[in-house]
């Protein structure tokens, strides 16, 4: 049962991703409801709990979450200027995999803020940054106690 917490985290990620997929793609046409928020909060809570273990893989996941949130925000901010150039338009298409992997599972929280997907991505990069800080804090705390 060494990987019990990791399995719960992966299962909550898959559940949050599947429940929030359509609302995150179709927003604001398809509204986010309370069930999306509940699943998102479950995933966020388990992510916070698992950060206490100080996993290197979770640290990489958190850093990529911060980068993806900032990348999606900046690309959506300057999206209107990028459509005129083919190279910039292809760069703009890089945001979609990052958005799907890192922002979609936590998109149910947008019921509280009602932001555009770019602004909400920036807010979620702050959440992933907090996860990263927790991982570093608990890793150093474990090293000091040992």
For CA atoms 46, 50, 51, 55, the dihedral sign is: negative
CA geometry: angle 117, 61, 59, nearest 5 deg:
130
Residue-wise pLDDT tens digits, 78-110: 877 766 777 777 777 888 999 999 999 999 999
* Domain, as residue range, for 54: 4-145
From residue 25, give the alpha-carbon distance in Å to each of 7, 82, 84, 103. 26, 20, 24, 11
- Please give the mean pLDDT across all residues of the chain: 90
What pLDDT sits at residue 2? Answer: 66
- Give the lowest-confidence range in 44-48, 68-72, 115-119: 115-119
What mean pLDDT do residues 17-31 have?
A: 88
79 vs 6, residue with greater confidence? 6
Total domain count, the chain: 1
pLDDT(1) > 60: no
Confidence band for 146, pLDDT divided at 50, 70 and 90: low
From residue 50, give the alpha-carbon distance in Å to each of 4, 9, 28, 95. 11, 8, 32, 27
């Amino acid at each position: 049962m060494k990987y019990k917490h990791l399995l719960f985290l992966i299962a909550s990620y898959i559940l949050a991703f599947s429940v929030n997929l359509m609302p995150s793609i179709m927003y604001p046409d398809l509204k986010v409801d309370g069930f999306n928020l509940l699943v998102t909060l479950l995933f966020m809570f388990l992510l916070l709990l698992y950060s206490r273990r100080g996993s290197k893989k979770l640290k990489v996941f958190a850093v990529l979450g911060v980068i993806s949130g900032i990348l999606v925000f900046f690309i959506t901010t300057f999206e209107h200027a990028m459509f005129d150039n083919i190279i910039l338009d292809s760069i703009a298409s890089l945001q979609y995999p990052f958005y799907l992997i890192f922002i979609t599972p936590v998109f149910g929280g947008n019921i509280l803020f009602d932001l555009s997907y770019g602004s909400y991505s920036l807010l979620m990069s702050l959440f992933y940054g907090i996860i990263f800080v927790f991982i570093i804090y608990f890793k150093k705390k474990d090293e000091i106690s040992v």
